[in-house]
Amino acid sequence: MAVTAEVGFRMRPIALSIICLFVAMGLHAATFYVTSAGLGGEPDYDKRFQMWAADIDKTLRSTEPGANVTTLSGADATRVKLEAALADVARQATPEDAFVLMLIGHGTFDGEEYKFNLPGPDISAAQLANCLRAIRAERQLVVNMSSASGAALPPLAKKNRIVITATQSGNERNATLFARFWIQALHDPGADTDKSGGVSALEAFRYASQKTSEFYETEKRIATEHAVLDDTAQGKGVRNPSPQNGEGMLAAGFPLLPLGSGTTTQANTPAKRKLLAHKEQLETAIDRLKYQKAAIPEDEYKKQIATLLLELARTQAELDQ
pLDDT tens for each residue of 158-179: 999 999 999 999 999 999 999 9
Please name which of 2, 5, 1, 3 lies closest in space to residue 193, comparing C-alpha atoms: 5
What's the number of domains the chain is made of?
2
| Residue 69, SS3 per DSSP | strand
Q: Give the C-alpha distances (Å, rounded to integers) separating 305 from 106, 231, 289, 299, 311.
A: 19, 38, 7, 10, 10
**Rg of the chain, C-alpha, whole Å:** 19
Q: Residues 145-151: what's their mean pLDDT?
A: 98
Q: Residues 259-266: what's their mean pLDDT?
A: 52
- Percent of the chain residues past pLDDT 70, beyond the cut: 88
Q: How many CA atoms lie within 13 A of 37 on its CB side?
A: 24
Do 246 and 276 reside in the same domain of the chain? Answer: no
Please state the separation of Cα 191 from the chain's center in Å: 14
What is the domain-level CATH number for residue 176?
3.40.50.1460
85 confidence band (pLDDT: 50, 70, 90): very high
Do 149 and 133 reside in the same domain of the chain? Answer: yes
Rounded to the nearest 10 degrees, how much is the dihedral formed by the CA atoms of 121, 125, 128, 129? -160
pLDDT tens for each residue of 181-213: 999 999 888 898 888 778 999 999 999 999 999
User: Rounded CA gap, 150 and 208, in Å?
Assistant: 16
76-80 long-range contacts (CB < 8 A, ≥24 apart) are 77/36, 77/37, 77/38, 77/39, 77/118, 77/119, 78/118, 78/119, 78/120, 78/121, 79/118, 79/120, 79/121, 79/122, 79/123, 79/127, 80/120
Do 215 and 77 reside in the same domain of the chain? Answer: yes
Domain boundary among 265, 280, 306: 265
Please state the separation of Cα 271 from the chain's center in Å: 26
User: Rounded CA gap, 52 and 37, in Å?
Assistant: 8
Q: 46 with 119: CB under 8 angstroms?
A: no
Whether 4 is in a domain gets the answer no
Whether 5 is in a domain gets the answer no
Do 164 and 241 reside in the same domain of the chain? Answer: yes
Do 173 and 42 reside in the same domain of the chain? Answer: yes
Do 184 and 276 reside in the same domain of the chain? Answer: no
Q: Residues 96-122: what's their mean pLDDT?
A: 97
The pLDDT assigned to 5 comes to: 40
The pLDDT assigned to 51 comes to: 94
Q: What's the DSSP call for residue 4?
A: P
Please name which of 287, 157, 163, 277 lies closest in space to residue 223, comparing C-alpha atoms: 287
Domain boundary among 236, 265, 294: 265
Whether 71 is in a domain gets the answer yes
Do 115 and 57 reside in the same domain of the chain? Answer: yes
Do 240 and 321 reside in the same domain of the chain? Answer: no
Q: Is the pTM of this model over 0.85?
A: no
Whether 119 is in a domain gets the answer yes
User: Is pLDDT of 259 > 70?
Assistant: no
Domain encompassing residue 185: 13-265
Whether 60 is in a domain gets the answer yes
Whether 289 is in a domain gets the answer yes
**DSSP string computed for 84-111:** HHHHHHHHH--TTSEEEEEEES-EEE-S
Do 240 and 311 reside in the same domain of the chain? Answer: no
Whether 1 is in a domain gets the answer no
Do 58 and 115 reside in the same domain of the chain? Answer: yes
Whether 63 is in a domain gets the answer yes
- Percent of the chain residues past pLDDT 90, beyond the cut: 64
Where is 133: in which H helix or E strand? helix 125-133
User: Rounded CA gap, 224 and 172, in Å?
Assistant: 6
Domain boundary among 244, 265, 286: 265
Do 41 and 143 reside in the same domain of the chain? Answer: yes
Do 158 and 186 reside in the same domain of the chain? Answer: yes
Measure CA of the first residue to CA of the last residue in the chain; give whole Å.
27
User: Is pLDDT of 33 > 70?
Assistant: yes
